[in-house]
Structure 1
């Protein structure tokens, strides 16, 4: 075990420190509802409750840790100013705190951060905050922020690997236990850098030790899962950035040490499944969530039999979703469900070929949703990239069989990521 890990493992947020954090932040943090979900309770034959952290002033729980950290700083440090790096939600919490406490802040965000999150950060910070877009990932922004911190001697507000931040996030656990009328059997919570679960799990292990704590992270950024498997903090070389609120290459050392001891299980969820949950929440319950906010609910399918008849809490961590991402969210959900497929179709260079394809190859409920045809050659068959949406995943194999029987089949693109990335 490394010296750093040995040192950080000693730290655990004490109940007293978390209660102090709750007192410190109570004037700016909303005590969010622990709301029963009829939709998911009925679906899983369980008592499912949603902890609605998407209803915070900055639309995520991140305000808890950010405000607790910044408001606990000595005045001389506040006067020098603070700096942070964030993919969006921590940035808004820091911006809000800086504005409220009248402390100058510099916030580094990845250039890939959804515009909505960038604009909200600037709005919450007002004249007290400067936003700098740098790099493609949180880790890029983090490295640039650290250089800035060293140059100007600013106080760095870490988004997850900080004691005061962890204690601020842990106040969610206190609220849940105060609001619950019956013992809680399971808590599902999203995990990016690990600050939320480090704090939350510590409170439950002390006050409700029989509650099972399940950590959930995106399949494309399994930072904690990889670290737990190797028994040490590891940095991933490459991650999928779609779940921007939870896509980090490396979890915090403090968070890893706590989560390794406290989590009952750690699972990953495909991004497509997360997208389907986003759509379900909007269509069925009129709840708008960002990808990270949908992760905890997305994990319920994996525990359907285990949670039957149990009291279950899912942390809805945030709602900072950009409406311009809706088309991509729908596309990813359809792909995950096996309802959207892309092909290279070989059309004979003769009149009526497309008509024949529509009439004799497509099923009665199949729709063409993408068509890109090229005739810039002299071959007998002209290729076209065609996207087809099915009504049922079971219709896929018969569709391919008809393509081959009529000599239209060229190539299936869904399982070719190097080509497929240009379509989605």
Structure 2
């Protein structure tokens, strides 16, 4: 397998079909890190993601007979967008399997890209089930299954991002590239390109914190990681540590950084406020990873691949809340209050400062005839303010639980029943 040769062939295949995405410097990030920070804007790609590069390269390579039978894929994200777009562009019938819990917005986006050439099938309660059903359908009906990464043609197509970066930036050596590990195809292809054409460039993979399949890389190469969280950005992960992409990444990557959901949300909001780039938190993981290399990249030239992904408007409030929780500006408490008039006013006056705000107050459980448990949401101006709030509650002998310290408040299995 000559992956580097395949990537060059893929570039020719994609020519005049997909336009190169811009590589632009972020003056805000460059100033923040005292480095030259370049953003590869794959969010501006057709279908809003690099995934279409691999999908088109693979589908275009099929025989006439294979195209006639139609294709099948499983995805609840950017790969589905890319496959759907290619089906409409190439006039090929396709089935796209998505789990039943896929948001209505995602389903509509995929249908919009594929129009009448695709059939969306909601199957399985989560992605792995939809994936297995899709594979079964492809096997029974002898149709080609378009994998999101585990295919040499797909990896080659996604790897063309690396060729573009080197062609677009010819001023001097690129010292670091931060690349998302979404499926692993992009990281495998891009790292292969740089290994051949810019071997001194350090390639840093970035993934969601919950992606346990990358632990093999971390253990073998003494990688650094951040604090663990749940599956908020699970779709950025490599599914199998013994896969083709994992084998290439293990050989080529210099490091892998794992990003908590809250940090990704902070990066997404900052990117929107500073650059007016509005994409989903899964698309800005590489920017969120820069803090981990702040010292190493000082004075260096750094490329961050923005992996695309449309921002889901129905998650806007959730994203903002994740960001505030991560920054320590929002705290949830369960507080035991005596049942008497004026107790809330006393709490606000005696416990909170003028910079603190009580934004939610809900009685959730009566302990006895004299006390009840109250769920409250506090917003503080400075993360250190919470220390004073706790101290004041202790001085007033108020019993409380800081739920931020005990639970991941946005985990899918967390409810008031679990907390109580």
Tell me which interval the TM-score lies in, with the shorter structure as reference length: over 0.9
Structure 2 residue aligned with 1:221:
211
How far did 1:379 drift? 2.5
The corresponding residue for 1:36 is 25
| 1:64-104 Cα distance to aligned partner (Å, 9 max, x none) | 00000000101100001110111310011001111111111
Instruction: State the 1:369 CA deviation.
Output: 2.4
Who is 1:26 aligned against?
15
Shift of 1:138: 2.9
Q: 1:313 to 1:366 in 2, by over 3 A?
A: same
Residue 175 of structure 2: which of 185, 205, 228 is its match? 185
The separation in 2 between residues aligned to 1:418 and 1:88, in whole angstroms, is 24
Alignment of 1:307-386 (within 5 A): 307-374=297-364, 378-386=368-376
2:3 match: 13
Contact 2:75 2:97 survives alignment (8 Å): yes
Tell me the TM-score normalised to structure 1 length: 0.91
Unaligned runs of 5+ in 2: 222-227
Partner of 1:135: 124
- The two structures have a TM-score, normalised by structure 2, of 0.92
Aligned pair in 2 of structure 1 residues 419, 268: CA closer, same or farther (>3 Å)?
closer
Two-structure CA RMSD over aligned residues (Å): 2.1
The CA deviation at 1:142 is: 1.2
Equivalent residue number for residue 97 of structure 1: 86
Matched residue, 2:154 = 165
The structure 2 residue matched to 1:70, chosen from 45, 48, 59, is 59
1:257 counterpart (232, 247, 252): 247
For residue 269 of structure 1, the aligned residue among 249, 259, 270 is: 259
Matched, 1:174 2:163: yes
Aligned to 1:3: none
Query: 1:8 matched to which residue of 2?
Result: none
Residues 1:277 and 1:112: Cα distance change in structure 2 (over 3 Å): farther
Of stretches 120-129 and 104-113 in structure 1, the one that deviates more from structure 2 is: 104-113
SS at match of 2:16: coil
State the shift of 1:147 in Å. 1.2
CA distance in 2, matches of 1:75, 1:271: 43
Q: Distance in 1 between matches of 2:408 and 2:155?
A: 39
- What SS does the corresponding residue of 1:200 show, helix, strand or coil? helix
Q: Name the structure 2 match of 1:49.
A: 38
Q: Given that residues 193 and 252 in structure 1 are in contact (C-alpha distance below 8 angstroms), is that contact kept between their aligned partners in structure 2? A: no
Find the aligned partners of 2:242 and 2:297 in 1 and give their Cα distance: 30
Deviation at 1:244, TM superposition (A): 4.8
Question: For this pair of structures, how many residues does the alignment match?
Answer: 407
In structure 2, distance between residues paired with 1:265 and 1:397: 36
Match of 2:73 among 65, 78, 84: 84
- What residue ranges of structure 1 are gaps of 5+ in the alignment? 1-10, 232-237
Q: Distance in 2 between matches of 1:339 and 1:419?
A: 14
In the other structure, the counterpart of 2:289 is: 299
CA distance in 1, matches of 2:107, 2:31: 37
Report if the CA contact (8 A) 2:240-2:246 is conserved. Answer: no
Q: 2:229 and 2:377 mapped to 1: Cα distance?
A: 26
2:405 match: secondary structure: coil
Aligned-partner Cα distance in 2 for 1:258–1:308 = 28
Tell me the distance in 1 between the aligned counterparts of 2:371 and 2:255. Answer: 53
1:223 and 1:248 in contact (8 A); partners too: yes
Cα 1:72–1:85 change in 2 (3 A) is same
Shift of 1:12: 4.9
**Partner deviation per Cα, 1:118-164 (whole Å, 9 max, x = no partner):** 21111111111011122344322211111111221110000011000
Provide the rounded CA distance (Å) in 2 between the counterparts of 1:87 and 1:239: 21
Change (3 A) 1:96 1:366: same
Instruction: Kindly indicate whether the alpha-carbon contact (under 8 Å) linking 1:92 and 1:124 is maintained by their aligned counterparts in 2.
Output: yes
Contact 1:240/1:247, CA 8 A, preserved across alignment: no
